[in-house]
Amino acid sequence: MSPKQTQRPVAAIDLGATSGRVMIGELVDGRIQLTLVHRFANGPVALSEFETDASSQSLAWDIDGLWSQIKVGLKKAFELRADIASIGVDSWAVDYALLKDGRRLGQVRHYRDPRNELAVPELEKKFSRAELFERNGLQFLPFNTIYQLEAEQQEQRLASADQLLLVPDYINWLLTGQARCEWTNASTTGLLNQRTGTWDQELVRELGVAYKLAQIVYPGETVGSLLPELAQEFGATNSVQVVAVASHDTASAVAATPLASEKSAYISCGTWGLAGVELTEPVLTSQAQRAGFTNELGLEGSVRFLKNVTGTFLLSESLSYWNLQAKQAGDAEVQLDDLLAEAQRLPVPQVLIDPQEEQFLAPGKMPVRISEAIIDAGGFAPESKVELIRIIIESLASSFASQTHEAARLGGFDLEDIHIVGGGSQGELLCQRIADLARVPVTAGPVECTALGNVLVQLRALPEGSHRVNDLRAVVRRSTVLHHYQPVGALKLA
């Protein structure tokens, strides 16, 4: 006999920098059940694959390929559950589609595109980093939307466009025909003024997007109804709403992170590592700006005060490099789980890397760059793959430990514990070393926190579900198994 179902299910589209998936979520006996329906690969593609005159260095996303996979996933979802009530979309931040007369102009450029770095000094001739931080509260990163738009002004399509939509808003537009901009993701662009919570009119005029930005909506608001032709294609048997979730994937993840108290820090560890605290007001001080922290908006007006650092990207890029070599040599593929198991037995490395350094932002030859950085810092190049993996894990743990303490300090309190979610929460060595170095307990899980946040915001938006999932984090605690790590030894932060 199946468990008692309390309300209709929802579909979550969760797009990450390396993969995407479509999931079904439902509330059963007070707990969330997630069903993976469809998973697909994602990643940067050379713009020259789409545009023959493009530079070989220019990068884009295969957004049409992603849309095709999303439709495959939604069709499978409705085949499993024809009574799906709503759909929600979350994705990575900062990247956007440009439209004119309801048609996309060119490709969605990738945030790692080299053109962004070239645009930084041009924008900073008009607005210093300190002034930008005072307006938008964002950590300087060369791929922030404002720098991408400065680069766009050297190209024709921005002047031609009449609409700019961030990636999840673009998918929502494809689903409904309605153009909206969800608030949490808007806060990552650099165009939203942290003091007013609205578009910064001087910046949007300067960057050529005045009158091209959509109406802001908030998590839980309805974007529109699923287009009839798509409902027919998917096999939906009832009206389906598309709901604005906390569409920046980190906002969804933090919304569902079951923090122990107001003095907890979180780490959302995937391709990127986001380490920070949840506050009620932004921290716009010069100290926060110099320390490289960012203020992004979360559910119910919360502020995610955090720092972006490179996360498991270091591991995945190293693995890709080694497996390319293995393929060329006709050898077996390298397995990350095997390397991690061996790495636990190695001593703590004496020389580490700083995952925040710009040299680790770009893809390609990651083990070579890490080895060079170790040598430059006075150490010896790792002699094996396992040694290099141990250096990455220790470097990530050291960075996360120090940044969470710094976030708490700048936020005005002493850190009591850390909660890590996402793929990195499965790494026992990483979690234990964060606890050791931060000298506070660490709780790990759930892995699928982003999808949980997406689903929970949708369920709460349904008329029959609001009272059942009012406390999102309480539902997560009931729905998942959490793992706990206590600090070992009197270790100091690196």
- Per-residue 3-state assignment (H helix, E strand, C coil) for 334-368: CCHHHHHHHHCCCCCCCCCCCCCCHHHCCCCCHHH
Identify the pLDDT of residue 24: 98
Identify the pLDDT of residue 310: 87
Identify the pLDDT of residue 363: 84
Identify the pLDDT of residue 91: 98
Neighbours of 329 (CB within 10 A): 8
Identify the pLDDT of residue 1: 35
For residue 221, the number of C-alpha atoms closer than 13 Å in the C-beta half-sphere is 16
Identify the pLDDT of residue 144: 96
CA 269 to CA 79: how far, in whole Å? Answer: 32
* Residues with pLDDT less than 50, the chain: 1-5, 490-494
In 3D, which of 170, 9, 21, 176 has the Cα closest to residue 99? 170
Identify the pLDDT of residue 385: 97
Q: At what angle do helices 385-411 and 313-329 cross, to 10 degrees?
A: 170
Identify the pLDDT of residue 465: 62
pLDDT tens figures, 297-347: 999 899 999 998 889 999 999 999 999 999 999 999 999 999 999 999 999
Question: 98: exposed, middle or buried (C-beta count within 10 Å: 0-12, 13-18, 19+)?
Answer: buried
In 3D, which of 268, 274, 266, 269 has the Cα closest to residue 442? 266
* Alpha helices by DSSP H, 344-492: 366-376, 385-411, 428-438, 449-461, 472-479
CA 87 to CA 222: how far, in whole Å? Answer: 10
Neighbours of 268 (CB within 10 A): 28
CA 106 to CA 125: how far, in whole Å? Answer: 28
Identify the pLDDT of residue 272: 86
Is the backbone of residue 197 left (phi > 0), alpha (psi -120 to 50) or beta? left
Q: How many helices (H) and strands (E) does the chain have?
A: 18, 21
Active-site residue set: 249
Q: At what angle do helices 449-461 and 472-479 cross, to 10 degrees?
A: 130
